A and B are shown apart, each in its own frame.
Chain A
């Protein structure tokens, strides 16, 4: 079959207005269905004619999945809430600035206006071999082109590989892990996942980036108050100032008692097929002041076990330095 791109194949469009209807429609469509929210990940797949669902379930009209609500013990963010809304919402900004900063770092204003929080955490990897439609492990084949001896893998992983060496591209994912957010998934059974467990690596299932299987719908993200008003640090290093995925990013939350780190949650992204919570680093810094020694130890501990591919050794020091800086941010 000859190659053709940039032309979306026809599909049946259904536009449910309730979660219940959406879940029913997804069930009916089975493997031939595709959930459409902001469309930023979706449209690339469709334009490249690599993903060709028979039915597209546009959940954009489900009001209950939209908006930010104060709840007992935290805030509930509808999965359809735009990244701009997440970035600018007053309470999110004032109490969970880590998340608003991460959302603010996504792509461009236009993409943040259109893109949703649910889409940002559910998006597929940007490995260019996989996105180009090559028959790799993740696409159901039996080879990883990105780890081949001559492959271009500057942006691929330094840890967590299991046949696939792609990375998770989400900016908000590490922030949600650091905030211990809960992901609400409906299918039709309602389930709650810790953000940390929501993202999965290829050793669990090489064809998916999250726990969600066909028929599952991410409806809300709940951010508990526990980490509200903590000391936050977010940084994303990228090749250019906008419309770019991270090379490495770090998101950290620190609860301080004077100069002492009482508790910490730190996650990085861009280094593995899933956002990585650095629990060993968290334990290291807990009860410590953020001295230079602790900063350096945190950075070194973070990169233990990392292994570079041919072109991405730099990610190891970039990750080390970002973790150092995150800890440094709460230095006296």
Chain B
């Protein structure tokens, strides 16, 4: 009997290499004759390059060549180029230098004289909405594909409302949607809570900066890249370089995190290939922590106003939400997602959303783990508590009441979701936390310490459909699963193969995972982002396994007699009425038969990108290859309910997180230990957003200061809760054959929410309504002193 694989802990296939140091990351690769490349970054937040004198740089021993903006594609509109002559943030790359060593690169760059024309800049998006304020671009602060550039400002009357601490009412929001009847919703409300809330921007700061090594050999590009995705990054690189994807040998076996900043790779990964092509030498571009701070992307901050109405029984009846988003120079979509997440988490039925994404001269923004959702859940959960207090209602009860069921449609289009077990997650979490007893500790004082109880609900996308699976049973009797998804440490590369292996009746030691090198074959895959892979690739691999199983049975029936459907698989054998065969024998037979059995004939519905990958394995064994045609309707979302206990010192503003409990609706649990790690890891990342991580600029000069890990202050292990526990609802998603959904995203919003609510609880229900909630802010509030920053100040700390 083969072992059970789904729902069982195991050692993921990449761990030993990581622990023993054998894992090779992008900057570990070398090639003969390799040289180095470094970037010259803009010293100003917005300027125009009038001239570059590189004559002294060219005299630096070891200097090889220089690449300017004119050497790389320059997209139209607010789109990012690899190099630019009009930098739009401090740190934007102006040019690249190649030299025999990094020391020579640095010396050459320092020898370059730049003639820069400073241009007006804006850091704070709200300031860019003031009449006559500067814009991030010389052409304006809004862009549309149809109409080009324009300038969008609020009026003095709008800012009179802002300055008075009220929600303004701009005549023409940039983005607007509504559902239901917002006025009727508020009319129905017994309690209305209204707040201004600021969420900071936050750099991604993955442990591994985005380095690339590249060289060309006979027209073929060999690229070693730090990226989240694999097959999709290869396609992205091919697009950026305007070459056939099959002319790239793409390697990315291990990546030290990305959090959304390297989803399909990144803009600057194509510089090393371009430089290599220009100089005819392999090029290593090692990105440093300092550079990562600039080009490494950030979560966009929000300045927002929100009004929520609640009926006497606690039901949320209306949300009026308004967000000004720091979109950086190249845009971000977080604010839109935030509005949808607000709707689906609190189910008001009546909602208006007005969004103001504004370009700024700060480093570029990109999706960061739970983009939009993490911000809004952390921001709004204290308001749910505020309503509960005013209604004298239990904080868990109000959440369970407002949590969605599958009947609630999300956002303006009332999008249906495949499964929603949010109430169940809240109930399971409450049990695990011992909510009934713990809530009694709320506000309890022990010396200068006061206990705060935090809780919240968080959600995010958790899957996608329609990708391809590819696997081969070789004559050695093993199953080789070819993964096109990336490996940034989430175990997806092996977790998503487990249900397929189980379907084929295999033990785990009979399975080999092949990943991270396009020369092994990468089928069309989802990006490694948005918590998609668990859902998308358990499906795709399951489809391929079904294809393999069909072929195994057919071969067995042909070889041994009887009906194919009477054959079953177990422990590397297929057996039925005519006897049994090993998978090794099946593979040999498949090669002999050819046709669809060994991949000579491929399904017609697989993606064109899968074909060359499958062709690499023609004749090597029994090929299982299929598109995920399982179908399904609606959005795929997972849920995480969170509970926590903190002790806050009222004399210092410092707090310690004592307990964290996560309960999640992710459908079927594939790999419990990995799921727990995602719950805790994401939650701690979210706690960092709530408590310490920051993004600070000098407003006069437009330059950032939180540009090192120690100044940006992401959470450390000493900030992690002393006690953690997790559990899962465990109800399979009915629309996917394996029943599993992803989890990486919602844990961040949950972690943020558990602290924003716990702190509010500890300080008597006051919502400080900004992140990060650092000791200065908490202490100033408790002591009735001037708060360190204005209510809507952004990029401060």
Q: Judging by beta carbons under 8 Å apart, are B788 and A1 in contact? A: no
Interface residues of B in 662-699 (CB under 8 A from A): 688, 691-692, 696-699
Q: Judging by beta carbons under 8 Å apart, are A2 and B776 in contact? A: no
Q: How close is A112's CB to chain B, nearest CB, in angstroms?
A: 13
Q: Give a binary string over A1-24; 1 marks a CB under 8 Å from any B CB, 0 the rest.
A: 111111101100000000000000
Contacts of B779 in A (CB 8 A): 314, 317-318, 321
Complexed CA–CA distance, A39 and B281 (Å): 35
* Residue from B41, B106, B692, B786 having most chain A Cβ neighbours under 10 A: B106
Contacts of B788 in A (CB 8 A): 154, 311-314
Q: Given A151-B698, A314-B785: A132 and B718 within 8 A (CB)?
A: no
Interface of B is mostly: mixed
Contacts of B796 in A (CB 8 A): 152, 154, 311
Contacts of B222 in A (CB 8 A): none
Stretch at the interface among B11-19, B23-31, B647-655: B647-655
B776's contact among A5, A47, A108, A314, by CB below 8 Å, is which? A314
Interface residues of A in 104-161 (CB under 8 A from B): 108, 128-129, 132, 145, 148, 150-152, 154
Closest-by-CB residue of A relative to B780 is A314
Q: How close is B161's CB to chain A, nearest CB, in angstroms?
A: 24
Q: Judging by beta carbons under 8 Å apart, are B290 and A6 in contact? A: yes
Closest-by-CB residue of A relative to B209 is A6
Interface presence of A324 (CB below 8 A): yes
A4's contact among B110, B654, B717, by CB below 8 Å, is which? B110
Complexed CA–CA distance, A10 and B101 (Å): 12
Q: Judging by beta carbons under 8 Å apart, are A132 and B776 in contact? A: no
Interface presence of A237 (CB below 8 A): yes
Complexed CA–CA distance, A1 and B60 (Å): 14
Contacts of B713 in A (CB 8 A): 239-240, 244
Q: Judging by beta carbons under 8 Å apart, are A154 and B652 in contact? A: no
Closest-by-CB residue of A relative to B656 is A241
Q: Judging by beta carbons under 8 Å apart, are A317 and B711 in contact? A: no
Contacts of B562 in A (CB 8 A): none
Q: Give a binary string over B635-664; 1 marks a CB under 8 Å from any A CB, 0 the rest.
A: 000000000000000011110000000000
Q: Judging by beta carbons under 8 Å apart, are B698 and A242 in contact? A: no
* Residue from B652, B699, B783 having most chain A Cβ neighbours under 10 A: B652
Q: Judging by beta carbons under 8 Å apart, are B700 and A2 in contact? A: no
Q: How close is A140's CB to chain B, nearest CB, in angstroms?
A: 19
Closest-by-CB residue of A relative to B718 is A241
Interface presence of B705 (CB below 8 A): yes
Q: Judging by beta carbons under 8 Å apart, are B110 and A132 in contact? A: no
Complexed CA–CA distance, A129 and B110 (Å): 21
Q: How close is A121's CB to chain B, nearest CB, in angstroms?
A: 19
Interface presence of B176 (CB below 8 A): no
Q: Judging by beta carbons under 8 Å apart, are A317 and B785 in contact? A: yes
Q: Judging by beta carbons under 8 Å apart, are B654 and A237 in contact? A: yes
Interface presence of A77 (CB below 8 A): no
- Please count the residue pairs between chain A and chain B whose beta carbons lie under 8 angstroms apart in the complex: 138
Contacts of B114 in A (CB 8 A): 2
Interface presence of A193 (CB below 8 A): no
Complexed CA–CA distance, A239 and B779 (Å): 12
Complexed CA–CA distance, A254 and B398 (Å): 51
Q: Judging by beta carbons under 8 Å apart, are B718 and A242 in contact? A: yes
A318's contact among B103, B652, B696, B699, by CB below 8 Å, is which? B652
Interface residues of A in 65-97 (CB under 8 A from B): none
Q: Judging by beta carbons under 8 Å apart, are B696 and A152 in contact? A: yes
Q: Give a binary string over B532-554; 1 marks a CB under 8 Å from any A CB, 0 the rest.
A: 00000000000000000000000
Complexed CA–CA distance, A247 and B776 (Å): 9
Q: Judging by beta carbons under 8 Å apart, are B109 and A150 in contact? A: no
Closest-by-CB residue of B relative to A111 is B710
Q: How close is B695's CB to chain A, nearest CB, in angstroms?
A: 11
Interface presence of B113 (CB below 8 A): yes
B698's contact among A6, A150, A154, by CB below 8 Å, is which? A150
Contacts of A312 in B (CB 8 A): 776, 788
Q: How close is A170's CB to chain B, nearest CB, in angstroms?
A: 15
Q: How close is A247's CB to chain B, nearest CB, in angstroms?
A: 6
User: How extensive is the interface on chain B, given as a class?
Assistant: 35 or more
Contacts of A238 in B (CB 8 A): 654, 775
Interface residues of A in 274-332 (CB under 8 A from B): 311-318, 321-322, 324-325
Q: How close is A150's CB to chain B, nearest CB, in angstroms?
A: 5
Contacts of A3 in B (CB 8 A): 40-41, 43
Complexed CA–CA distance, A119 and B697 (Å): 29
Contacts of A226 in B (CB 8 A): none
Q: Given A2-B40, A6-B291, A152-B696: A321 and B651 within 8 A (CB)?
A: yes
Q: Given A154-B776, A311-B796: A5 and B288 within 8 A (CB)?
A: yes
Contacts of B774 in A (CB 8 A): 239
Q: Judging by beta carbons under 8 Å apart, are A243 and B290 in contact? A: no
Interface residues of B in 758-797 (CB under 8 A from A): 772, 774-777, 779-780, 783, 785-786, 788-789, 796-797
Q: Given A132-B703, A242-B716: A152 and B797 within 8 A (CB)?
A: yes
Closest-by-CB residue of A relative to B114 is A2
Q: Judging by beta carbons under 8 Å apart, are A240 and B703 in contact? A: no
Q: How close is A242's CB to chain B, nearest CB, in angstroms?
A: 4
Interface residues of A in 219-251 (CB under 8 A from B): 235, 237-244, 247
Q: Judging by beta carbons under 8 Å apart, are B719 and A241 in contact? A: yes
* Residue from A132, A152, A313 having most chain B Cβ neighbours under 10 A: A152
Closest-by-CB residue of B relative to A48 is B290
Complexed CA–CA distance, A76 and B261 (Å): 50
Q: Judging by beta carbons under 8 Å apart, are A4 and B106 in contact? A: yes
Q: Judging by beta carbons under 8 Å apart, are A128 and B652 in contact? A: no
Contacts of A6 in B (CB 8 A): 288-291
Contacts of B289 in A (CB 8 A): 6
Q: Judging by beta carbons under 8 Å apart, are B698 and A7 in contact? A: no
Interface presence of B715 (CB below 8 A): yes
* Residue from B709, B772, B775 having most chain A Cβ neighbours under 10 A: B775
Contacts of B513 in A (CB 8 A): none
B780's contact among A2, A9, A240, A313, by CB below 8 Å, is which? A313
Q: How close is A44's CB to chain B, nearest CB, in angstroms?
A: 8
Q: How close is A45's CB to chain B, nearest CB, in angstroms?
A: 13
Q: How close is A53's CB to chain B, nearest CB, in angstroms?
A: 16
Q: Give a binary string over B298-339; 1 marks a CB under 8 Å from any A CB, 0 the rest.
A: 000000000000000000000000000000000000000000
Interface presence of B570 (CB below 8 A): no
Complexed CA–CA distance, A243 and B205 (Å): 16
* Residue from A9, A145, A151, A314 having most chain B Cβ neighbours under 10 A: A314
Contacts of A132 in B (CB 8 A): 703, 705
Complexed CA–CA distance, A316 and B737 (Å): 61
User: 10 closest Cβ contacts across the A-B interface?
Assistant: A241-B718, A6-B288, A314-B776, A7-B106, A321-B651, A242-B718, A128-B705, A242-B716, A240-B692, A5-B290
Can you sample 22 A-B contacts with CB below 8 Å? Answer: A2-B43, A2-B110, A2-B111, A2-B112, A2-B113, A3-B40, A7-B103, A7-B105, A145-B701, A148-B700, A150-B698, A237-B654, A239-B691, A242-B719, A243-B710, A311-B788, A311-B789, A313-B785, A313-B788, A314-B777, A314-B783, A325-B651
14 new A-B pairs (CB below 8 Å) besides A240-B719, A314-B783? A1-B110, A2-B112, A2-B114, A5-B290, A6-B290, A7-B106, A49-B106, A132-B705, A237-B653, A240-B692, A240-B716, A244-B713, A322-B652, A325-B651
